[in-house]
A and B are shown apart, each in its own frame.
Chain A
Amino acid sequence: MNEKMRRLALGAGIPLAVAGVGLGPYLAYRSELPDRVAVHYDSAGRPDGSMGTEVFLLVIGGVMAIGLIALLSIALTRRRFQPMVAPGVSSMGAFVATLFAGILALTAIEQRGLDRWQDATLSPVAVIAWIGGSILIAGLAAWIASSLPFKADTGTGAAPPSMTLAPGERVFWSSTLTARWPLPLSMVPLAVALAVARFVEPWVVLLLLVAAVALASFGRIRVTADRSGLQVRYGFLGWPRTSVPIHRIATAQAIDVRPVEWGGWGYRGSLAVMRRAAVVLRAGPGLRLDLHNGKVFAVTIDDPDEPARLLNAEVARLPTSGTPLA
């Protein structure tokens, strides 16, 4: 697929398909829908809110259109964005649009032929398909957008640094990095959880506690490099982790990570969907891996020159050096 086709798929293919799924059934069954449609359900699945059929179409269709316009503008823009921007905006736009198209479609299909909106039902299978479909379309949009040209970023452009390793020599490198803000920030959900514990349902407190623990632990990473490749372990438990096997690495280099160029802080992007991912805990030194299949992985870490030299040396002494395996 050349670039023009990809722009066409992103700016016209996906929007038309999503709009068709959303508007098609609604417009087709409009005469069979009750005067008002159920738009909200209580926890037992009984409808407890309604809206005029026309207003509903306008409101939900409007939000869907905003999402689709975001896709269209990414596809039409000739300006080159920072690498993560186009996939990020596209996936957000596609997700919102598909979610709202799904609302229209589900409403039309489930409430077709009803006399009163109070009789409406919502099948769990349809809801799962609806949310799952939205995630899939968002991933597809991100994947297509990630193949559009972006601002060149070959890192420093210098020859990859390496170290000399004798045949019997084995090397291992390890380092940890702790971000300054997540630990204090985790006190916020913790404090809120303690403050409201007596007044809200238990699951709200649980959710807040999970958020606090996640924030507290994910502010720290441990990075190791050896002949098997690169590993990033998150949090104080060292789990979950990201591994980049040595045979997938083409080159490693030390870079200066500016969070705006990698989509912000945290785990940004996705190797599978957006062809690039970065673990960003702060601005400053980081390690960048260019993989054989053109994907890019970056992680912020102090003294990135050491793991870069180690990994390049280990790549050089792979028996299949230079041939892509992945």
Chain B
Amino acid sequence: MLWKIDTQSSQPLHEQLAGQLRRGIATEALEEGEKLPAARELAKGLGVNVHTVLRAFQTLRDEGLLEVRRGRGTSVAADAKSATRHVELARRLVREARRSGMGDREILRLVEVQL
């Protein structure tokens, strides 16, 4: 897949990378189970710090989209395609709830009620 970042953008690089990963999974440019390039290699290719890449990988791992296995590298989670939809919906919920003036606790309760 094609990775693209803008070093002159105001958006932090790790967020740009995380966005690229999410889009890649959503558009199936990255298939479920596919191995990602090594963080060091990706960092070198894009001319960024390796920690920036690792931070993006970490974010996506926390969202359940990536699987990090020791010694086997990072790969796209087996159910990443559906997970990416839920993550996107949750982000939208938080964004719109905040816009209508809700606090973090209210948003959490909003979700809890639905469980």
Question: Contact at A169–B2, with CB atoms within 8 Å?
Answer: no
Question: Contact at A169–B35, with CB atoms within 8 Å?
Answer: no
B49-80 interface with A by 8 A CB criterion: none
Chain A residues, Cβ within 8 Å of B3: 171-174
The reply to whether the CB of B4 lies closer than 8 angstroms to some CB of chain A is yes
Q: What is the CB-to-nearest-CB distance from B89 to chain A, in angstroms, rounded to a whole number?
A: 29
| Closest Cβ neighbor of A166 among chain B residues | B6
Main secondary structure of the interface of B (DSSP, over half): mixed
A48-97 interface with B by 8 A CB criterion: none
A211-229 interface with B by 8 A CB criterion: 224, 226-228
The reply to whether the CB of A319 lies closer than 8 angstroms to some CB of chain B is no
Question: Contact at A176–B35, with CB atoms within 8 Å?
Answer: yes
Q: What is the CB-to-nearest-CB distance from B26 to chain A, in angstroms, rounded to a whole number?
A: 17
Q: How far is the CA of A176 from the CA of B7 in the complex (A)?
A: 27
Known: A174-B1, A174-B37, A175-B1. A226 touches B46 (CB 8 A): yes
Interface footprint category on A: 10 to 19
Contact of A173 among B2, B5, B35 (CB under 8 A): B2
Chain B residues, Cβ within 8 Å of A174: 1, 3, 37, 41-42, 45
The reply to whether the CB of A306 lies closer than 8 angstroms to some CB of chain B is yes
Question: Contact at B5–A170, with CB atoms within 8 Å?
Answer: yes
The reply to whether the CB of A193 lies closer than 8 angstroms to some CB of chain B is no
Question: Contact at B37–A169, with CB atoms within 8 Å?
Answer: no
Known: A173-B1, A175-B1. A227 touches B47 (CB 8 A): yes
